[in-house]
Structure 1
Amino acid sequence: MEDIATQLCAVLFTEFRRYDQRIQARQYLDGLLSAEGRKSIANIASAVGAPRDAQRLHHFVSSSRWEWTPLRRALARFLQTTGPASAWVLKPVSIRKTGEHSVGVGRHFSPDTRQLVNGQQAYGMWFASPSVTAPVSWRLRLTGRWSDDAAADTGRYDTVTGLLDDVRRWSDPPRPALLDVRGVPEEEGLVTRRLEAGFPLVVRIGGRMRIAAEHPTSGGHGPCVAPAQRILDRALRSRHTRSPTGGGRPDTAFVTTPVRLAGQGPGRGPLTALGVWHDLRHPPSQVWLTNVPALSAPALLNLTRLSGRAEQGWRTLGEAVGLRDFEGRSLEGWHRHMTLASCAYAISALTAADAAGQSVYGSGSKVCGLSA
């Protein structure tokens, strides 16, 4: 881990203008990786053997003027040197808080627990390759008493738009972005805007969202407009593929079929719908839409599984490096903390990949490329 941390810091911390900022950034990063329990400023300072520096580190994160966007962009570039991204995963997260004073805290519906909770609503953008999955960018949704902040993300739609803009700027060549829009008000309109924007997307939708089958109905009266799960059920009855999961569990059944958005004119390119079943007695457990052309059903299924890797990482490694632990009232401080915690996450993920024999790095300090 020390070697990988040194390599990452040597590349990323050139974005800091001052030497003292680079020292403080490395202290903060080392503390995120080594502190036991919650990654508070006091615990971080103690973990690096400098408990008297807690106030200085607090100022570095909450009040200093360094920009987090160049650091995030450099982190994305660094991760791409270990192997090109297969996709970028945009993940909504809920960060539960017991108090009311941390920036962005309020009552909201949690996508994790499917209930109302007190805490912060955020979206993360995750780099996902065959060997490494790690967050690289963040947006915090501010509503209610926090929404007057001039730097606020004004809503969930703008939050997603900001991250997709990051993907456009940082993904070369462009790779698909995975996005879950289930439970979003005006789901159909949001999906239409996203997919028709032209950026390669793989969007998870609710099974009840209405779409149009690309092929006419048997009566020949034009395309069938119906809930997505019904269209995919019909496609499954005519053909389906099973993917063995091992461990004695049932196989995964999946099928793709060409569709269009309800009301979409014939001049628009067709979309592909993917349905995934773990129990054929019930509707599909997952429904996805994509505008990525010429993508085989197994390849599309593998892409969607990257979303599960990001979810698992958020629950485990994300908690270990302090992605949930910022307690301050400063929006800028939240962004800086999440940026450095994402760097700590990347170091841990790269170390785990290297230990698993995936050869993320070669000899010396030179970063080796992997084919996607």
Structure 2
Amino acid sequence: MRAIRPAEEAEALPRDPAAEARALRASVLGSLRRRDQRHKGELYVDGLLTAPGRKTMRNLAASTDERAAEQSLHHFISCSTWDWSPLRARLARGLDRLLAPRAWVVRPLVIPKTGRHSVGVGRRFVPQLGQVVNSQHGYGLWLASGAAAVPVNWRLSLSGDWLDDAEMRQRAAIPDSMDEGAARAPAVDMVLESAGWGASAVPVVADAREEALPALVEAFSGAGLSFLLRIGGGTGLLAPNLSAGRSRVAAGSATLLAELARSQRRPVEWFDPAGPGLPRTSMVALLPVRLPGGPGARRR
């Protein structure tokens, strides 16, 4: 298989990024009906792009020439009644046009916190760090091309403490429709919502080692989405039996089945975007598998 250089697959970035950014900002904020909200949105975005240091409301307001900007920006973000969903949809469609993405990349987000008042904060074990961290946990969805990757959607993951405590729910304005069932699969909800925004249908790429894999596969398959998931070596799978045994199906962990498929490996050339541009070769085996107990539609 011939390798494809990143330059061949990547759409070039706009020649005038500042002009494209202004046009995109105007398009996204155009979904706000009130002129004062569109103006505050412009101040907020400009502050995010230009204010040095932490992006607090005070710092964002200091980058403007308007009096009482801190209070008005805080109200715009925290208390105003505008709906964020149409803005994210316009953002996704605009960036889809600019980037021509090759994939939607879904990643977990760990945001360390020192206090306990931020929405969704709690002490939880973070496998990537190997320790318990006081943090918010969520998910982000990036449109990724060979030239750039930008986030267009995100979700906070809420623990039972935040959902069961009436005072905490009220303080954080958590809607009544958000229960433990709805909060159990934020990554799935985020992807399915994004799929309805009209952006290009490209594969979803995600690290699913810490996720409920059957629910993920069922949801993405049911929505007609292509996907590439990283799974843990201990994940149980079914595959065609490559040995001389009587059974036509082999059952085992992903690690075991990968070992059984070693005889099917073939060399594949590829280019590492972070490397010097020289081709690399890996031995790859293609083995159709499915989840135990699932229908054929779960085969991947």
TM-score scaled by structure 1? 0.65
Equivalent residues of 2:93, 2:199 under 8 A apart? no
Q: Is residue 84 of structure 2 the alignment partner of residue 68 of structure 1?
A: yes
Q: Indicate the residue corresponding to 2:214 in structure 1.
A: 189
Q: Aligned equivalents of 1:2 and 1:139: distance in 2?
A: 28
Structure 2 residue corresponding to 1:30, chosen from 12, 22, 46: 46
1:201 shift after superposition: 1.7
1:244 shift after superposition: 5.6
Q: Aligned equivalents of 2:258 and 2:134: distance in 1?
A: 37
Q: Indicate the residue corresponding to 2:240 in structure 1.
A: 214
Q: What secondary structure does 2:292 align onto?
A: coil
Q: What secondary structure does 1:38 align onto?
A: coil
Q: Aligned equivalents of 1:115 and 1:228: distance in 2?
A: 26
Q: Indicate the residue corresponding to 2:229 in structure 1.
A: 203
Could you list the per-position Cα deviations for residues 61-114 of structure 1 after superposition, in whole angstroms to 9, with x for gaps in the alignment?
101111100000000110121143322112110111101111111112335424
Q: What secondary structure does 1:33 align onto?
A: helix
Q: What secondary structure does 2:245 align onto?
A: coil
Q: Aligned equivalents of 2:277 and 2:35: distance in 1?
A: 56
Q: Pairwise mapping of residues 251-266 of structure 1 onto structure 2 (< 5 A)?
A: 251=280, 253-264=282-293
Equivalent residues of 1:93, 1:110 under 8 A apart? no
Structure 1 residues 39, 266: closer, same or farther in 2, change over 3 A?
closer
Q: Is residue 44 of structure 2 the alignment partner of residue 19 of structure 1?
A: no
1:189 shift after superposition: 3.4
Residue type of the partner of 1:239?
R
Structure 1 residues 55, 178: closer, same or farther in 2, change over 3 A?
same
Equivalent residues of 2:271, 2:277 under 8 A apart? no
Q: Indicate the residue corresponding to 2:114 in structure 1.
A: 98
Q: Is residue 113 of structure 2 the alignment partner of residue 86 of structure 1?
A: no
Q: Indicate the residue corresponding to 1:338 in structure 2.
A: none
Q: Aligned equivalents of 2:143 and 2:104: distance in 1?
A: 5
Q: Aligned equivalents of 1:55 and 1:244: distance in 2?
A: 50
Residue type of the partner of 1:241?
P
Structure 1 residues 47, 86: closer, same or farther in 2, change over 3 A?
same
Structure 2 residue corresponding to 1:138, chosen from 154, 170, 174: 154
Could you list the per-position Cα deviations for residues 2-57 of structure 1 after superposition, in whole angstroms to 9, with x for gaps in the alignment?
42331112211111111111111111111111111110000111123446310111
1:135 shift after superposition: 0.8
1:217 shift after superposition: 2.9
Q: Aligned equivalents of 2:205 and 2:237: distance in 1?
A: 19
Q: Indicate the residue corresponding to 2:252 in structure 1.
A: 226
Q: What secondary structure does 2:190 align onto?
A: helix
Q: Which has the higher contact order (CA 8 A, sep 6+)?
A: 1
Structure 1 residues 183, 30: closer, same or farther in 2, change over 3 A?
same
Q: Aligned equivalents of 1:27 and 1:244: distance in 2?
A: 41
Q: Aligned equivalents of 2:78 and 2:216: distance in 1?
A: 36
Structure 2 residue corresponding to 1:164, chosen from 191, 203, 215: 191
Unaligned runs of 5+ in 1: 272-372
Q: Is residue 65 of structure 2 the alignment partner of residue 39 of structure 1?
A: no
Residue type of the partner of 1:259?
P
Q: What secondary structure does 1:36 align onto?
A: coil
Q: Aligned equivalents of 2:81 and 2:216: distance in 1?
A: 37
1:158 shift after superposition: 2.8
Q: What secondary structure does 1:103 align onto?
A: coil
1:240 shift after superposition: 3.0
Q: What secondary structure does 1:85 align onto?
A: coil
Structure 1 residues 126, 208: closer, same or farther in 2, change over 3 A?
same
Q: What secondary structure does 1:15 align onto?
A: coil
Q: Aligned equivalents of 2:130 and 2:298: distance in 1?
A: 34
1:126 shift after superposition: 1.2
Structure 1 residues 52, 269: closer, same or farther in 2, change over 3 A?
closer
Q: Aligned equivalents of 1:191 and 1:23: distance in 2?
A: 40
Q: Is residue 57 of structure 2 the alignment partner of residue 57 of structure 1?
A: no
Q: Aligned equivalents of 2:294 and 2:78: distance in 1?
A: 50
Residue type of the partner of 2:261?
A
Unaligned runs of 5+ in 2: 1-16, 164-168
1:60 shift after superposition: 0.7
The count of corresponding residues between Structure 1 and Structure 2 is 269
Equivalent residues of 1:232, 1:255 under 8 A apart? no
Equivalent residues of 1:153, 1:159 under 8 A apart? no
Q: What secondary structure does 2:30 align onto?
A: helix
Q: Indicate the residue corresponding to 1:177 in structure 2.
A: 204
1:237 shift after superposition: 3.9
Q: What secondary structure does 1:202 align onto?
A: strand
Q: Is residue 262 of structure 2 the alignment partner of residue 240 of structure 1?
A: no
